[in-house]
Amino acid sequence: MVPLHRSHLRWRVGAHPLVLIRVDDYPRWDRPLEEFLAFDALLAKYDIPYALGVTPFLGIEPRKGFLEPEEVHVLQRLSARSVTIAQHGFTHRPHKWHGRYSVELPAYSQSEVTEWIGRADVFWNQWNLPRPEIMIPPFDGITPESLVAISNRYPIVTGGPASLTTLGPVAPGVRLLHSLYLPSYYAHMYAPSLFALLGERLWKEATGPFVVLTLHWAWEARDRYARVEPLLAALAGRVDPWDRVLGRVERRAVH
Ligand SMILES: [Zn+2]
C-alpha cells in the first residue's frame, strides 16, 4: 500500500521548497509550562511560524489524562497569534509494537481510534480551539492499519525515523489515503549537533518540495535553548506557515 518515492504522487509547490517547523510535546509531563513559554517567546522573537503538537488527554505519569485550564488558555492565546495547533496523539502513553518500538496509535483498533478522535474533537470544541488538521503520531509510530481511521479525519499526517519501519520508507509530500504525508527524517530530526549548520541548508539541500524540521522543546529546555537559538536566528522570518500547505490540501480536496 505504501508508494515508495513515486515522483508522480509527490506534491509540487514550485521551485522553492517549503520549510515548515513542527514542535512536539505540549504539554510535557516532566517540565513546567513556563519553560515552554520561554521557547515560544524565542520563536515569536525570530518570527518563526510553527505547528505545535498537543496531546489533549496526556496520560504519562504524573499526568492524569487531561490538560490544566492554564495550559488550555495558553493554547487559546497561541491560536489567536496564528500558531498552528496540531494533534500529537491522544494520551501519548507508550505501547510496545513488535517488541521494539513504542507507539500509541497502532495500539488501538480502528473503532478505538475513531472513538478517540470523537473525544478529542469534543475537547477542541469545548474550549473554542480550532480542530487540528495535522496528526503527529507519538513516537512517530504509524502503521498502514492505524493510518486508515487517522487519514479519514486529518488532511496531514507526519512521521519520522521510527515510521520508516512501522509504515515504510515514504518520502515527504506523498499522498497516503486521504492525507498528505509529511515526515521529518535525519537531519531534520534528532540532529541537535547539526543545529549550527542547518539554516540556509534546509532550502539549498532539500531533495523534495517539503522540509519539515522537528524540534523537541523539552530537550532544548535543558540548556535554556542555548543550542537551538542560533538555528532559530538563522531561520528568522523565512519559515513558511503551515496554512500554506493546508490551503493547498483543502483546495485539492474540493476538486
Ligand atoms: Zn511526543
pLDDT, tens digit, 9 for 90 and up, residues 173-218: 999 999 999 999 998 988 888 898 899 999 888 888 899 999 999 9
Q: Calculate how far, in angstroms, residue 254's C-alpha sits from the geometric centre of ligand 1.
A: 32
Span 92-126, pLDDT tens digits: 999 999 988 999 999 999 999 999 999 999 999 99
CATH second-level architecture of 21-251? Alpha-Beta Barrel (3.20)
C-alpha 242 – ligand 1 centre gap (Å) = 19
Residues around ligand 1, an ion, CB closer than 5 A: 24-25, 138
Beta bridge partners of 165: none
C-alpha distances (whole Å) from 219 to each of 30, 40, 223, 228 are: 11, 14, 8, 10
Res. 242: pLDDT tops 60 = yes
d(CA 193, CA 75): 30
Inter-residue contact 22 to 214 (CB < 8 Å): yes
Q: Provide the whole-model pTM.
A: 0.92
Instruction: Provide the 8-state DSSP code for 223.
Output: G
pLDDT digits (tens, 9 = 90+) for 18-27: 999 999 999 9
Distance 91 CA to ligand 1 centre (A): 10
Distance 228 CA to ligand 1 centre (A): 18
Using DSSP, state whether 161 is helix, strand or coil: coil
Residue 14 has pLDDT above 60, yes or no: no
Where residue 184 falls (left for φ over 0; alpha for ψ -120 to 50; beta otherwise) is beta
pLDDT band at 12 (very low <50, low <70, confident <90, very high): low
Q: Where are the domains of the chain?
A: 21-251
